[in-house]
Amino acid sequence: MSLGSSKGSAALTDAKIRALRPPESGQAEYLDAIVPGLRLRVGVSGAKSFVLRKRVAGKYRNITLGRYSERLPLAEARKRARQILSDVEIKADPVASLPKPQKRTAAGHTVNSLWPDYKRAKAHLRGSAEIKRIFKRHILPEFGDRAADGITRSEITRFIDEIAQRSPVMARNILSYFSAFYTWALPRLDRLPANPCRDAGRPPKPKPRERVLSDKEIGALWHVLEGEGAPFGPAIKLLLLTGQRRNEVFEAERSEFDLERQLWTIPGERAKNGVAHLVPPMKPTMSSKVTGGV
């Protein structure tokens, strides 16, 4: 389907939206019969976004409401669209009523446009790989196409709260990484008064867990990992065998392992204290526990 092609107006439903397939090329638009001007765009990647097309000051404007997700279902998109339509009708200056997140997107100040410079600025850090992973998996899919100076602390709070329902620890980590990004970006954004992550809601710190896996549980886990492909199967095995930190294992390079000496050297730039760390051969007792099928 060619760029900008659209389907006839019909009442959209969440079920219909989830069933839509991406076009072979360009993007497809599906009009909503309930709210005038509301449409759903589907790209070749499968990404689905809500857009409101409205005539403002004699010109048609496409206002991006956000990507279709659990945080922005159809009902919420219709609510936002109706609010914008109402604001445009009653404001003396209709352009000023457009939602702040849509301003200055074309000026190159989206989170996506700032990301390459931020990534280069943090490339020297030991945790640079984890920064990239967190942004690509969590932050950029949610906020990448948004104007960085238009994202509010309430939006960040809702985003973090949703992740916290699955993993409070991960939610706290993501918020910390996003806050570090805004600390770096603040001098580069004239209209951003403060770091929106600073006052966003933060999940409480989880209570320390004292439980450890029993020998039987370790054996059962090991057998499950036998059928798990790379990187998680081998990596979790290495975690069990060495007791090293997660980032040290998942960021390890092949050159760090001396198989003849049975020695793993974690270089100083990746070690927590900045000093090279030697991981000795596995103790026989641990080997018998894990490989013996206890």
Listing DSSP states for 138-203 in one string gives: IIHHHHTTSBGGG--HHHHHHHHHHHHTT-HHHHHHHHHHHHHHHHHHGGG-TT--S-TTTTS--P
Instruction: Write down which residue in 188, 204, 234 finishes a domain.
Output: 188
Q: pLDDT (tens digit, 9 = 90+) per residue, 45-75?
A: 788 999 988 877 677 788 888 888 888 899 9
For residue 209, tell me if it sits in a domain. Answer: no
Contact between 99 and 84 under an 8 Å Cβ cutoff? The reply is: yes
Give the mean pLDDT of 175-189: 93
Task: Classify residue 103: in a domain, yes or no.
Answer: no
Residues 56 and 14 occupy one common structural domain: yes
Q: How far is CA 69 from the centre of its chain?
A: 13
Give the containing element (helix H, strand E) for 51. Answer: strand 48-56
Q: Is residue 130 part of a domain?
A: yes
Cα dihedral 104→79→68→71 (10° resolution) = 100
Final residue in a domain of this structure, among 131, 153, 188: 188
208 found inside a domain: no
CATH number at residue 16: 3.30.160.390
Termini Cα distance of the chain: 57
Token pair, residue 39, equals 């449409």
Whether 242 and 268 map to the same domain: the answer is: yes
In a domain, 121, yes or no: yes
Instruction: Evaluate whether 67 touches 112 at the Cβ level (below 8 Å).
Output: no
pLDDT at 163 over 60: yes
User: Cα 233–234–235 angle (5° rounding)?
Assistant: 90
CA–CA dist 277, 126 (Å, integer): 14
Cis amide bond preceding 231, omega within 30: yes
45: left (phi over 0), alpha (psi -120 to 50) or beta: alpha
Note down the domain range covering 50.
Answer: 5-98
Q: Please tell me the distance from the alpha carbon of residue 21 to that of residue 59, in angstroms, as a whole number.
A: 31
Same domain? For 128 and 156 the reply is yes
* Residue 64 backbone phi and psi in degrees, to 5: -75, 125
Does 126 have pLDDT greater than 80?
A: no
The pLDDT of residue 124 is above 50: yes
**Does one domain contain both 93 and 119?**
no
Tokens of 221: 């886990």
Between 62 and 30, the higher pLDDT residue: 30
124 shares a domain with 52? no
Separation of alpha carbons 154 and 200, rounded Å: 7
Q: How far apart are CA 92 and CA 16, in angstroms?
A: 38
> Residue 200 domain-assigned?
no
Asked, for residue 105, whether it belongs to a domain, the answer is: no
What pLDDT, on a 0 to 100 scale, did the predictor assign at position 40?
Answer: 92
194 in any annotated domain: no
Per mean pLDDT, which of 168-177, 221-230, 275-284 is the most reliable? 168-177
CA distance 205 to 283: 34
pLDDT tens track for 232-271: 788 888 888 887 877 778 778 888 888 888 888 888 777 6
Number of domains in the chain: 3
pLDDT the model gives residue 10: 67
Using the 3D structure, point to which of 67, 98, 129 is the last residue of a domain: 98
Q: What are phi and psi of 255, to 5 degrees?
A: -65, -15
Distance of CA 42 to the CA centre of its chain: 20
pLDDT band for 178, please (50, 70, 90 cuts).
very high
